[in-house]
Amino acid sequence: MSTLRYTKDHEWIRVEGDTATVGITAYAQEQLGDVVFVELPEVGKQLTAGGEAAVVESVKAASEVYAPVAGEVVAVNEALVGTPNLVNEDPTGEGWFMKIKLADAGAAEALMDQAAYDAYVEGLH
């Protein structure tokens, strides 16, 4: 498994070749509480880095999920439509949101690694 990278908006990205899997972090799902609905982007949608890509709703709030990198949505996790709580149960595994064909293969390198993200989250408390 390749390394996860993180954004300040609490998305994670796992790059494999020219495709990246994207979801929200364990911290993000803890802050949201029980996820009850996920709105996924259409396959084929062009995303810009930092642009809105999806919406996640919980019992507490609705929140945008931003694209960590630019590219084209090539797959979405249809399992989330019927079972949105997968985001709570396994945020960096079965709870992934979308797969993006990268516009720039090196774009994810600019994002935080695990240690930097952990330090960032620690600073939020």
Range 65-74 average pLDDT = 97
Q: Topology of domain 4-119, per CATH?
A: OB fold (Dihydrolipoamide Acetyltransferase, E2P) (2.40.50)
Prediction pTM value:
0.94
Determine the pLDDT at residue 53. Answer: 97
Residue 105 neighbours by CB distance under 10 Å: 13
- Give the span between the Cα atoms of 88 and 100, in whole angstroms: 22
Domain residue spans of the chain: 4-119
Residue 100, pLDDT > 90, answer: yes
Which pLDDT band, with edges at 50, 70 and 90, does 90 fall under? Answer: very high
Placement of tokens 């009850």 in the chain:
36
Range 78-103 average pLDDT = 97
CB hemisphere CA count around 48 (13 angstroms): 1
Task: Pull the structure tokens for residue 84.
Answer: 């949105």
Condensed to tens digits (0 to 9), the pLDDT of residues 102-121 reads 999 889 999 999 999 999 99
In this structure, of 70-74, 94-98, 103-107, the range with the lowest mean pLDDT score is 103-107
Determine the pLDDT at residue 1. Answer: 42
Which pLDDT band, with edges at 50, 70 and 90, does 2 fall under? Answer: low
